[in-house]
Structure 1
Amino acid sequence: MKAVIIGAGAAGLAAAEALTERGWEGEIVLVGSENHLPYDRPPLSKALLAGTEEFDFVRLCTDEDITRNNINLLLGATATRLDSSAHTVELSTGETLNYDKLIIATGVDARQLPATAEIDAAVTLRTFDDAMKFRAEMVEGRRILVVGAGFIGLEVAATAVLKGCTVDVVEPSPGVLYGKFPQVLAERIETSHVEQGVTFHFGKVVDTWNAQDGRLGSVVLSDGTELRADAALIGIGTVPATGWLDDTGLEIGNGIICDAHGLAAPDIYAIGDVSNWFHPLVGESRRIEHRLSAGEQAQIVAAELTGTESGHLDLPFFWTDQYKEKWQAYGYVDWEADIEIVLDEPESNKLVAVLRRDGRLEAVIGKNAVKQLMPYRRELKQAAAEQLANAN
């Protein structure tokens, strides 16, 4: 038996390691498009970009770990074609891999702006190399433009400010994290940035990029405002990396559609950001782009392939670090849900808010309040367990 895993990020590596831990007796092939060992992505916009850490900080394994887990790691290879009937995957290197079980963990690609294709200092932040390139641009005194006020854009803005840069953020929506986070809490995050000197330009887009010989000089916004800029971070979202799966028969809809155990088609599974799993707790399929969910999915699929006991997906959990504020969210966050702030301590900079739908607790969000979140997390876990037990 041969398990082929396409994508050597956190999800793919977790699947490979879980297969070994659960007694998979066949070959394990892990294919990565980059030339680096598997690494963690969340720190790219924080400690790595800030220059306080290097690759060892984000690296998830060593060469020795790969050997010990009997993983055949192929780096610098991208999957280009899947033939599910023949059970083969073609790679950019010209190699064709046969598989008995296939796990797709290709993640997402950063959305690009065609207008910045020839501008060296206009960067998306998805890979280690992206982070190192933009880190070199974030020199004290320089003017940094961030396009997009989502989590990545805001984390980069905070990192740039702390490195002594002047930061402008351009966002077509009326506020930060619009449609992703409850407005009353997003406004708190926005205020923190404004207090640190970030200038926001809401309801606008970049119309003109003024660059010479690949170097950025300024941009002109849709309202005619010109902003000086030495470098730009393009943070306008991501798209599931599924282009190589066209005409394969897999159901693609905001990622690879899977059942509650990651099965997308006979002998084919998907995990991580590229996957869209059915979530019994909400009765629908959702693509969850959270680091911990990817690891849980890897364990569930490895259990399916080895016939061992597995748990179920936990509720989504994610966090973001900006300045001295750590925001954490547990549960299914609906930005339009009923919200109640149950703890608000400006002097200690702590906050806890609960989100309810039809009177039922759905999520809890906290700022610098790890301990204060725990009772609500336990309540959510208990409710989820009871709901699953009743469903079964």
Structure 2
Amino acid sequence: MLSHIVVVGASAAGLTAAEALRREGYAGELTIVGEEARSPYDRPPLSKQILRGAWDEERIVLRSDDLLADLDATWILGTAAVALDPSARKLTLADGQILGYDGLVIATGATPRRLPFGHDLAGVHVLRTLDDTLALRDGLRGARSVAIVGAGFLGAEVAAVARELGVAVTMIDPLPAPMIRQFGTEMGELLTQLHASHGVDVRCGTTVNALTPGTGSDLLGSAGSDGAERGSAGRVAGVELSDGSRVAADLVLVAVGASPATGWLAGSGLVIGDGVECDQYCVSAPGVVAAGDVASWDHPGVGRQRLEHRMNATEQATTAAKNLLGQAIPFEPVSYFWTDQYDVKIQVYGRSGDDFDFRIVAGDPAEGRFAALYGDGDRVTGALAWNFPRQARTLRQHVADQTPWAAVSA
């Protein structure tokens, strides 16, 4: 019988796990540890509604104070976990506290990757937390130009918001088109067209060699008659690309992906690969489960996966909590994610990308609304909808049923 469960990570996954534990009848001591000093909040709006200024901060808080109090949990916020001893079942925090436990949920999420240079310059941003977003939003209000390094989810969404705010945008990525990793070549070409049509300078197929500071003028991001960048010394003024070109920029967003937040688990004995490695039940060690962006688990139908999707965080956390209490439920979801860019909503169920076949099955890209399926040559693996939500829900069933690819590709 578990008497003290600790949840490490006051995230969507961590909060969901805590709620699931109580819902499943766990009445023992519950402690929730969070590195940020904030109550749990939703992250997807950070790169869209919050960055745009359309929502205030309170709107992304996941639960009211009353609902959080109903959990009857001890909250330790603003303090990171720094070490774990699973054999002794002890967790060490940055302030020196040592928490004993008999059940542990790891939900520490991920941290943004950085370039090996340039982050000491003012005006260079990453985006993961609410504080990151507020700083970037403040910068965009006075900026004339922004260079976005990375054309994945964050890069593409921030590019759309910056253009809506009237800021000149250059989006840079080593791959041939935006979001090819997520969607594949055909969709990447459509996203290139979408961003270009809104005035984004899409520089794909090139990498960043350096972030360059200004030369001391007070005119940020401007250039003299000699073409030299004139931003303030110590502040970013431009980006040097591998093709030899230079891009002037008042701000730079580095959006080159995220790494699972596992550094604090060094020496713990847990298996760490691309995240905390778990079995199909989200169990990584006796009495230890993991969920959300930090968890790499053995999907019964797909194999090892780690997903940085909002829906996966809550679904996995629910399953992990149940299994920590003694159930044995394999976690085998049909994954779901979405992105909003300009007036376009793209929704995807299952697995997609260049590793799979791609076929449009409804609508027409030229009309601004269509749906498509992905397949591995044998079965349907994924479904995508571009401004076509009704079709997305319908096509999801093909993913769940693993419909033969021949039945939809004729």
Instruction: Give the TM-score normalised by the residue count of structure 2.
Output: 0.90
Q: Are the equivalent residues in 2 in contact too, given 1:262–1:269 (CA < 8 A)?
A: yes
1:82-231 equivalent positions in 2, closer than 5 A? 82-139=84-141, 142-211=144-213, 212-231=232-251
**Partner Cα distance (2:401, 2:242) in 1:** 49
Residues matched between the structures, number: 383
Structure 2 counterpart of 1:292 = 311
Indicate the larger mover: 117-126 or 209-218: 209-218
Task: Say whether residues 1:264 and 2:284 are aligned partners.
Answer: yes
SS of corresponding position for 2:156: helix
Q: Does residue 58 of the first structure (1) align with residue 60 of the second (2)?
A: yes
Secondary structure at 1:132 match in 2: helix
**CA drift at 1:252:** 0.9
Matches of 1:310 and 1:171, distance apart in 2: 40
* In the alignment, structure 1 residue 324 sits paired with structure 2 residue 343: yes
Q: Does 1:239 align with 2:239?
A: no
Please tell me whether residue 360 in structure 1 is matched to residue 379 in structure 2.
yes
| CA offsets 1:272-296 (integer angstroms, 9 cap, x no match) | 00001111112x1111111111111
SS at match of 2:181: coil
Q: What residue number does 2:299 align with?
A: 279
1:378 aligns with 2:368: no
Distance 2:308 2:329 in 1: 21
Deviations 1:108-144 (Å, cap 9, x if unpaired)?
1100124222122111100000000000111276101
Match of 1:33 in 2: 35
Distance 1:346 1:82 in 2: 51
Shift of 1:193: 0.1
- Give, in whole Å, the separation in 2 of the partners of 1:241 and 1:366: 31
For residues 85 and 306 of structure 1, do their structure 2 counterparts lie closer, same or farther at Cα, with a shift above 3 Å needed? closer
Task: State whether residues 348 and 392 of structure 2, in contact with CA within 8 Å, keep that contact through their aligned partners in structure 1.
Answer: no
Query: Per-residue deviation at 1:225?
Result: 1.4
Q: CA deviation at 1:376?
A: 1.5
Which of 313, 330, 345 aligns to 2:332? It is 313
Partner SS for 1:297: helix
Paired residue secondary structure (1:377): helix
Query: C-alpha deviations, 1:65-86, integer Å up to 9, x for none?
Result: 2211112111001011101111
Separation of aligned partners in 2, 1:70 and 1:310: 26
Deviation per CA, 1:169-191, whole angstroms, max 9, x where unpaired?
11122222233322101111111
Say which SS state the counterpart of residue 344 (structure 1) adopts.
strand
Residues 41-73 of structure 1, C-alpha deviations (whole Å, 9 max, x = no match): 111100000011121121111222221111211
Any idea what the Cα deviations from partners look like across 1:4-33, whole Å, max 9, x if unmatched?
A: 011111000100111111110111111000
The corresponding residue for 2:272 is 252
Q: CA deviation at 1:381?
A: 2.5
Supply the distance in 2 between the matched residues of 1:229 and 1:101 (Cα, whole angstroms). Answer: 49
1:229-275 Cα shifts (integer Å, max 9, x gaps): 00011001111111111121111110111011110011111100000
One-letter amino acid of the structure 2 residue matched with residue 338 of structure 1: D
Paired-residue identity, %? 38
Distance in structure 1 (CA, Å) of the matches to 2:127 and 2:285: 32
For residues 85-114 of structure 1, the C-alpha deviation after alignment (integer angstroms, 9 at most, x for no partner) is 111010011111111101100111100124
Cα shift at 1:308: 5.9
Change (3 A) 1:346 1:173: closer
Cα shift at 1:313: 3.4
3-state SS, counterpart of residue 273 of structure 2: coil
- For residues 199-249 of structure 1, give each alpha carbon's deviation from its aligned partner in whole angstroms, at most 9, with x where no partner exists: 012222222322244322222222221211000110011111111111211
CA distance in structure 1 between the aligned counterparts of 2:88 and 2:330, rounded to whole angstroms: 32
Please tell me the residue identity of whatever aligns with 2:315. E
Gapped runs of 5+ residues in structure 2?
214-231, 404-410
Shift of 1:305: 2.9
Q: Distance in 2 between matches of 1:213 and 1:140?
A: 17
- Structure 2: distance between partners of 1:178 and 1:375: 24
Q: Mean Cα displacement is larger for which, 270-279 or 338-347?
A: 338-347
Write the deviation string for residues 152-176 of structure 1: whole angstroms up to 9, x where unpaired.
1000000100010000011122222
Contact 1:121 1:215 in 2 (8 A): yes
1:118 is paired with a residue whose SS is coil
1:106 alignment partner AA: T
Q: In structure 2, how many angstroms separate the alpha carbons of the residues matched to 1:64 and 1:374?
A: 34
Alignment check: 8 A CA contact 1:121 1:214 kept = no
TM-score by length of 1: 0.94
SS at match of 2:50: helix
Q: Is the 8 A contact 1:140 1:165 kept in 2?
A: no
* Contact 1:4–1:103 under 8 Å retained in 2: yes
